[in-house]
Amino acid sequence: MSTHANKGTLRIIVVAAVMVLLLAWAQGDLRFIGIGPWDAYFVRILNLAAINTILALSLNLVNGFTGQFSLGHAGFMAVGAYTTSLLVMTPQMKKVVFFMEPMFEPLDRICIPFLPALLVGGVVSCVFGILVGIPALRLKGDYLAIATLGFAEIIRLILQNVRRLTNGALGLKGIPQVVNLWWTFGAGVAVFLFIRGFVRSSFGRALIAIRDNETAAELMGIDVFKHKLLAFAISSFVTGIGGGLMASLLTTIDPAMFKFPLTFQILLTVVLGGMGSLSGSVIAAFIVTFMTEFLRVVDEPLQLGAYTIHVPGLRMVIFSALLVIVVVFYPRGLMGNKELTWESLSSPVSRLLRRRVAS
């Protein structure tokens, strides 16, 4: 028993150490021994992948584990992104950006470090989540989906119209680029462990019970609405954090960024990874992010002998077709509701080894 536990701890330590070394190498923190950093473009994709992981995990908590279909993610991301950005931007930069109309009084002088700003972004997003959730979560299924989509659109319209707070349709620029791989992967791992812990707790089991049969769950004494709202609040907190990280990585944001296609991409990730599988969301987030970047090739002009084929936008066609194909032919996605474990990883390998030995 104790050797088993030791083996598990050892594995975690090895994985963590390898990850830290790789991140240090990629980020350029191992320059003193003459290696790294990796190509800046590749590092940027890794950052995006980690942020998309955070977003997918938070959507999966609501859609996959609680079975409440929310399409409002872009709105909560926007809240997190704007809150964090407005708190970390320097007063000078704010003066430059808000050239049309000056900013609200005390906020134009406030400038706090990134970590508290990120957390405040998460909290504000969480408050919005609760405010949206209280009316919306009384609805079910497709009505909930449309209502959350509506709330996200309302949030976006508010951001676009309250010019003295958000600079309107022009958006914000000059957001300090604080995030690096340590931030994104650190937050990614923290969110993963947090949501995994939550899903495995009695709360999480109640959520799964609600997903599988709401009436039965209620009869078993679960306060359905409270649990749904809690899941929704946690999800919007995490989404807000994801939005804040995204804003700091991109350094510019505007309301048009946070339209429905953004939610679509997160939804694609969750469906591809498997609704109800955290490791599936992680894998799918990396696949989708890397595909997004590598499929830029198909948007470039293609030289075929004497002909030049140039179809900009083909990338998104591929993504939308992918969603339909996955849903129609592989509705369980990559992982279904299973998790990737050491056993599931090692069993095919050990089976292969055993076959080798036998032959």
Partner 1 sequence: MTWPLFWSNLANAISLGSLYSLIAIGYTMVYGILRLVNFAHADLLMVAAYAALYGILIFRLPFVISVLLAIVLTAGVGVLIERRAYRPLRDSPRITAMISAIGVSFLLENLGLVLFTGRPKSFPVPGFLGASTDIAGVRVSNITFVIIFVTAILLLIVLYVINKTKTGIAMRALARDFDTARLMGVDVDSVISLTFALGSALAAVGGVMWALKFPQINPLMGMMPGLKCFIAAVFGGIGNVVGAVVGGFLLGVAEIMLVAFLPSVSGYRDAFAFVILIATLLFRPTGLLGEKIGEKV
Of 316 and 340, which has the nearer Cβ to partner 1? Answer: 316
CA triple 184-185-188, angle to 5 deg: 90
Exposure string (b/e) for 152-188, b if CB count within 10 Å is 16 or more? bbebbeebbeebebbbbeebbbebeebbbbebbbebb
Please, what is the minimum distance in Å from the beta carbon of residue 266 to partner 1? Answer: 12
Stretch that binds partner 1, among 147-155, 179-187, 202-210, 286-294 (CB under 8 A): 147-155
Q: Cα–Cα distance between 185 and 81 in angstroms, integer? A: 18
Q: Nearest approach, Cβ of 316 to partner 1 (angstroms)?
A: 4
Residues 204-233 as x/- pattern, contact with partner 1 by CB under 8 A: -----------x------------------
Q: Does 254 bind partner 1 (CB under 8 A)?
A: no
Query: Using CB under 8 A, which residues numbered 47 to 106 contact partner 1?
Result: 69
Residue 172 Cβ vs partner 1, minimum distance, rounded to whole Å: 18
Within 10 angstroms of residue 111's Cβ, the number of other Cβ atoms is: 17
**CB 346: neighbour CB atoms within 10 A?**
11
User: How many angstroms from the chain centroid is the CA of residue 188?
Assistant: 9
Contact 90/108 with Cβ under 8 angstroms?
no
Residue 151 binding partner 1, by CB under 8 A: yes
Any contact of residue 139 with partner 1 (CB under 8 A)? yes
Residues 6+ apart with CB under 8 A from 344: 338
Among 304, 306, 324, 349, which residue interacts with partner 1 (rule: CB under 8 A)? 324
The C-alpha atoms of residue 22 and residue 105 are separated, in whole angstroms, by 45
Using CB under 8 A as the binding rule, whether residue 297 contacts partner 1 is answered as no
Contacts with partner 1 by CB under 8 A lie at 69, 135-136, 138-139, 141-143, 145-147, 149-151, 153-154, 157-158, 160-161, 215, 260-261, 264, 267, 271, 311-314, 316-317, 319-321, 323-324, 327-329, 331
